[in-house]
Structure 1
Amino acid sequence: MVRIQSVLGPIDSSDLGFTLSHEHVVVSSAGIPHIYPEFIRREESITEGIKQLREAKNEGLSSIIDVSTIDLGRDIRLIEQVSRESGINIICATGTWRDIPRAFWNATPDSIAKLYKREIEVGIEDTGIKAGIIKVANDVGGVTREGEVILRAAARTQKATGIPISTHTWAPDRVGEQQVRIFEDEGVDLNRVYIGHSNDTTDTFYLEGLMDKGVWLGLDRYPGGRSPGTPDWKGRTETAMKLISDGYGKRIMLGHDWSVTLSIDSKEGQDTRKKSNPDGYLFITRKVLPRLREMGASQEQLDDLMINNPRRFFEGD
């Protein structure tokens, strides 16, 4: 058992319970929640976030990992309030998403790692709320020059603090392999690395190859299917079952990549997203887990996905 930093303070890893491995409360852009709160309907987002997470708690959810970063408009006080009033543990992130701040483009990995380390050991902004995970993102086209700087900064932060890394990838381009190579070059313990958005592909050869390297796998885009050429939720679930059947069930975690507000999308896009997933944070509970049971997954295997694996990930087991 280890202590994990949540936005309400440290919790025991044994208290994580049923955990969604990659979520958000609000997604926006750097500075927007503080400078233009009306753009994200901040108070409405808080109310809706509390409502949705309370509903999920009533159906068994205990914790979420909110991987919103500075360039995703991370609003730490908003996340704190939603956690406190919903009763859901929320682990928040340091690091960056795809919109790497221009000021970081010519910085060194060590100079950026120093900033991340402060958010882990001292706190975010002036709140004293400490990050419990390091986020990094590389997307279509793979690792760019500045993207490599950020990966190396995340790696050095991980080695200095022991806090795990969660990545955003574009699985159809096998971007996770590029990330792993850089982490290996930096000497990171790959057992402390989670390769996310991996269910945007059904290529189990690629996915199993990643886990053979020692990383954890995030099947964390549900229902999915919004990007052309990516599988729908049933295809994603078939892939999950194949990985379980092949003996990888103790290296996988599930999530939605859901958020109450997604202001980087158009209003029409947000409406379409909500219509495609009226269950929100409960889609996995209501649709995916029953489907896996129908396909032959045992309760022990489902508990690994949702309870045991997130705990073991943070414990470094």
Structure 2
Amino acid sequence: MSTIHIGVCGWGDHYDLYTQGVRNRDKLSVYAGHFPIVEVDSSFYAILPQRNYETWVRETPDRFGFIVKPFQAMTGHQRGSAPVDRREVFRQFEESIQPLVEAGKLKALLFQFPPWFDCTRENVQYVQACRQELSAYPFAVEFRHRSWFQEKFRERTLDFLRKIEATHVLCDEPQAGDGSVPIVVGVAHPRLALVRFHGRNHAGWRDPGEGQKWRDVRYLYRYSEEELAEWVPRIRQIETEADEVCILFNNNSGGDAVHNAKQFADMLGVQASGLNPRQMELF
């Protein structure tokens, strides 16, 4: 049986973890008293200075793990922007994450490709190129265009990820057209399986509504116990195929991610160890 780790995406907005008056700079330390892994989203918006990662290494226990999203120019999210020197951007990003690498706390690089990144020969070649640029690091791929998992391509996509030694990211999300993917239970890399829960806000997935920020609406969802129960046999299946299973809750908009993460941990009988002592929070 594999090791299962459960956490959430980011650590700044989960206010039910923090007592009133906890400073922003202390939130990661408090978070690490509850969960053994976290997804870093700020790295998607900018290539961060090494000092950020150095600080995060100091604030977390030895066995804590970071799943880092690469800069958006690396995953094709910046449509219409001026061309960038890909090799230089990859070099800068690789240099920035070295404190995590040296501390043994880099769990994976999460390449989440945009909803318009469909299954074409050109895009397959681009994923291969990304993998080659960062061949020294654990590499996870989340596709967001349905074409990768159409029946005729599903097994070929998983085989492709196996060939480049990449983790297949399983997703729970609304089924809302081409810009969403179905649940595909399968392990592409024997070392690590990664599952991300985005919520099931079907109405807000594609259209947040007038005057609304898409991120505030898209991930506004609380899973029911029945919905989480659907995933228990899936997790039991993939944990027989991977040494480690990391599960991340991204339904952050309404503060539901922490609740659902702890609820799911209880359902799976997962008890995290090696956490920070809980001396700064309410419970």
Q: TM-score range by the shorter chain?
A: 0.5 to 0.7
1:207 paired residue number: 184
Which residue of the other structure, out of 233, 238, 260, is the alignment partner of 2:229? 238
Which residue of the other structure, out of 37, 41, 55, is the alignment partner of 2:30? 55
Structure 1 segment 133-172 matched on structure 2, within 5 A: 133-143=108-118, 148=124, 150-158=126-134, 160-161=135-136, 163-170=137-144
- The answer to whether the 8 A contact 1:165-1:194 is kept is no
Q: Normalised by the size of structure 2, how large is the TM-score? A: 0.56
Aligned equivalents of 2:247, 2:227: Cα separation in 1: 11
**Deviations 1:62-100 (CA, angstroms, capped at 9, x unpaired):** 33342544x423434345434434558453454534524
Aligned equivalents of 2:83, 2:6: Cα separation in 1: 30
Q: Please report how far the alpha carbon of residue 277 of structure 1 lies from its aligned counterpart in structure 2 after TM superposition.
A: 1.5
- The answer to whether the 8 A contact 2:149-2:182 is kept is no
Is 1:225 aligned to residue 200 of structure 2?
yes
Is 1:73 aligned to residue 64 of structure 2?
no
Is 1:129 aligned to residue 99 of structure 2?
yes
2:114 alignment partner, SS class: coil
**Deviations 1:1-23 (CA, angstroms, capped at 9, x unpaired):** xxxxxxxxxxxxxxxx9744673
Q: Please report how far the alpha carbon of residue 243 of structure 1 lies from its aligned counterpart in structure 2 after TM superposition.
A: 1.0
Gaps of 5+ in 1: 1-16, 28-45, 260-272, 308-317
Aligned equivalents of 1:179, 1:241: Cα separation in 2: 22
Q: Please report how far the alpha carbon of residue 221 of structure 1 lies from its aligned counterpart in structure 2 after TM superposition.
A: 2.2
1:255 alignment partner, SS class: strand
- The answer to whether the 8 A contact 1:136-1:168 is kept is yes
1:289 alignment partner, SS class: helix
- The answer to whether the 8 A contact 2:47-2:92 is kept is no
- The answer to whether the 8 A contact 1:168-1:195 is kept is yes
How many matched pairs?
Answer: 225
1:219 alignment partner, SS class: strand
Is 1:23 aligned to residue 9 of structure 2?
yes
Aligned equivalents of 1:80, 1:258: Cα separation in 2: 28
Higher relative contact order (CA 8 A, sep 6+): 2
- The answer to whether the 8 A contact 1:166-1:194 is kept is yes
Relative to structure 1, is the Cα distance of residues 187 and 218 closer, same or farther in structure 2, using a 3 angstrom cutoff?
closer
Aligned equivalents of 1:117, 1:184: Cα separation in 2: 28
1:288 paired residue number: 264
- The answer to whether the 8 A contact 1:22-1:66 is kept is no
1:310 paired residue number: none
- The answer to whether the 8 A contact 2:249-2:260 is kept is yes
Aligned equivalents of 1:229, 1:19: Cα separation in 2: 29
1:248 paired residue number: 238
Relative to structure 1, is the Cα distance of residues 152 and 26 closer, same or farther in structure 2, using a 3 angstrom cutoff?
farther
Aligned equivalents of 1:241, 1:187: Cα separation in 2: 24
Is 1:188 aligned to residue 163 of structure 2?
yes
The sequence identity of aligned pairs, in percent, is: 7
Gaps of 5+ in 2: 14-21, 176-180, 206-220, 274-283
Aligned equivalents of 1:117, 1:176: Cα separation in 2: 31
Aligned equivalents of 1:68, 1:253: Cα separation in 2: 19
Letter in 2 for 1:164: P
Aligned equivalents of 2:40, 2:7: Cα separation in 1: 8
Aligned equivalents of 1:229, 1:128: Cα separation in 2: 37
**Deviations 1:182-205 (CA, angstroms, capped at 9, x unpaired):** 685587344x42315x11169x99
Aligned equivalents of 2:141, 2:41: Cα separation in 1: 9
Q: Normalised by the size of structure 1, how large is the TM-score? A: 0.51
Aligned equivalents of 1:75, 1:205: Cα separation in 2: 32
**Deviations 1:209-248 (CA, angstroms, capped at 9, x unpaired):** x33x5575433226x2344388852355133113145x33
